[in-house]
Amino acid sequence: MKKTLSIALLAGLSLLTSSAQAEKRTLVISTYPVAPALFEKLVYTPFKAVCNCDIVVETGANADRLAKLEARRANPVVDLVLLSDFGMLEAAKKGLVQPLDYSKLKNYPRIYPAAKNPIGGNFAVGYTLYSVGLVYRTDKIKSFTSWKDFWREDLKGRVALPDISTTQGPLMLNMANMAWGGKTDDYATGLAKVVELKNNVVTYSKSSSQQASLFAQDEIWAAPIPRFVWAQVLKIGMPLKWITPAEGAAAGMNVMSIVNQSKNADLAYQLMDFWLSKDVQTALANELVDSPVNQDVQLTGAKAEFNTYGADTIKNLKFVKPEIILQQRAAWNEKWNKAMAK
CB 129 within 8 A of CB 254: yes
| pLDDT score, position 300 | 94
Mean pLDDT over 190-210 rounds to 91
pLDDT at 296 over 90: yes
What radius of gyration do the chain's Cα atoms show?
A: 23
Mean pLDDT over 224-229 rounds to 91
Which sign, positive or negative, has the C-alpha torsion 218, 224, 226, 227?
positive
Mean pLDDT over 126-150 rounds to 96
Of the ranges 11-15, 81-85, 110-114, 314-318, which one carries the lowest mean pLDDT score?
Answer: 11-15
Output 6 or 180, whichever has higher pLDDT: 180
> Is 269 in a helix, a strand, or coil?
helix
The confidence band for 3, taking pLDDT boundaries of 50, 70 and 90, is low
Nearest to 188 by CA among 342, 337, 335, 339: 335
Q: What is the dihedral of CA 280, 282, 286, 291, to 10 degrees?
A: 90
Inter-CA distances, 84 with 32, 143, 320, 321, Å: 10, 33, 12, 11
The contacts of residue 242 (CB under 8 Å, 6+ apart) are 133, 134, 135, 225, 230
| pLDDT score, position 24 | 86
Domain boundaries, the chain: 2-128+252-309, 130-251+321-341
- Rounded to an integer, what distance in angstroms lies between the CA atom of residue 304 and that of residue 209? 22
The confidence band for 18, taking pLDDT boundaries of 50, 70 and 90, is very low
Mean pLDDT over 308-323 rounds to 93
Q: Which CATH class is domain 130-251+321-341?
A: alpha beta
The confidence band for 15, taking pLDDT boundaries of 50, 70 and 90, is very low
Report the Cα–Cα distance between both ends of the chain, in Å, rounded. 91
pTM of the shown model? 0.88
* Neighbour count for residue 260 (Cβ, 10 Å): 17
Of the ranges 17-21, 57-61, 185-189, 281-285, which one carries the lowest mean pLDDT score?
Answer: 17-21
Category of 259 on φ-ψ map: left (φ > 0), alpha (ψ -120 to 50) or beta: beta
Q: Same fold for the domain at 2-128+252-309 and the one at 130-251+321-341?
A: yes
pLDDT at 251 over 60: yes
- Averaged pLDDT score across all residues of the chain: 92
Q: What is the DSSP string of 144-196?
A: --SGGGGG-GGGTT-EEEE-TTSTHHHHHHHHHHHHTT--STT-HHHHHHHHH
Helix or strand run (H / E) with residue 49: helix 45-51
CB 102 within 8 A of CB 90: no
| pLDDT score, position 57 | 98
- What are the backbone dihedrals phi and psi of residue 276, each rounded to the nearest 5 degrees, phi first? -85, -5
* Neighbour count for residue 341 (Cβ, 10 Å): 6
CATH superfamily ID and name for 2-128+252-309? Periplasmic binding protein-like II (3.40.190.10)
Residue type, 129: L
> Exposed, middle or buried, 320 (CB in 10 Å: 0-12/13-18/19+)?
buried
pLDDT at 145 over 50: yes
The confidence band for 131, taking pLDDT boundaries of 50, 70 and 90, is very high
| pLDDT score, position 5 | 45
Mean pLDDT over 20-49 rounds to 91
pLDDT at 340 over 60: yes
